[in-house]
Amino acid sequence: MIQSRAAIRYAKAVLDLALEGKATEAVEKDMRKVLKALSDNPELHEMLSSPIVKSDKKTTILAEEFQGSHTITDGLIRVLIANKRITLLEQVAQKYIILNEELKGEGVAFVTTAVPLNSELEKDLLKQVEKITGNKVTIKNKVDEKIIGGFVLRVGDLQYDASIANKLNGIKREFTSSI
């Protein structure tokens, strides 16, 4: 997923507010709830991106959906609606979680492979990533057959592409440039 600069800025601002109010865990819990609600409910996702649905209706629906959320989360939703950026809510929530985990010395490594990782390979990869980053990391494995083989590892802003598809594209570029 490509994250917009605006989503990153909103996430950092929310994290700053949460740090100031000593509410980072409560807001992270809300952000996880937002991600779950948006992934479990495609109609909610469509409603947020619809230009036909009025802002006040979106506010009402989201207030109902996320009732009991922290005031910082409520404020974020209101600001995103007011600025006509509510479609960024999912990206802001994801980036907030990543930033907060980094702050706690934890992280998530996203690994894309052609086939699912077995537990032994996952443990080896986890050790290597923790050694490189110096942080406690959890692995999220995504299967994408288009990479043919190898893997693509993404930790924070760093990405390492050791996929067969990437290597083949490199050979193709080299071949076409030499003609």
Same domain, yes or no, for 10 and 96? yes
Domain C-terminal end among 101, 126, 161? 101
Q: Are residues 94 and 79 in the same domain?
A: yes
Mean model confidence pLDDT for the chain: 88
Its domain, for residue 23, covers: 5-101
What is the total count of domains within the chain? Answer: 2
Q: Looking at the structure, do residues 88 and 169 belong to the same domain, yes or no?
A: no
Residue 114: name the closest of 139, 147, 161, 154 by CA: 147
- List pLDDT tens digits, range 56-79: 898 888 888 888 889 999 999 999
The last residue of a domain, from among 101, 130, 152:
101
Select from 78, 101, 124 the last residue of a domain: 101
Residues 17 and 87 in one domain: yes
Cut 0.85: pTM above it: no
- 78-122 pLDDT, tens digit per residue, is 999 899 898 899 999 989 988 888 788 777 788 999 999 999 988
Residue matched to tokens 């994801």: 94
- CA–CA dist 13, 122 (Å, integer): 34
Task: Categorize the per-residue pLDDT at 3 as very low, low, confident or very high, splitting at 50, 70 and 90.
Answer: low
Answer yes or no: do 85 and 149 share one domain: no
The mean pLDDT of 36-59, rounded to a whole number, is 87
Structure tokens at 57: 């209706």
Q: Are strands 158-161 and 136-143 parallel, antiparallel or unpaired?
A: unpaired
For 114, the token pair is 């052609």
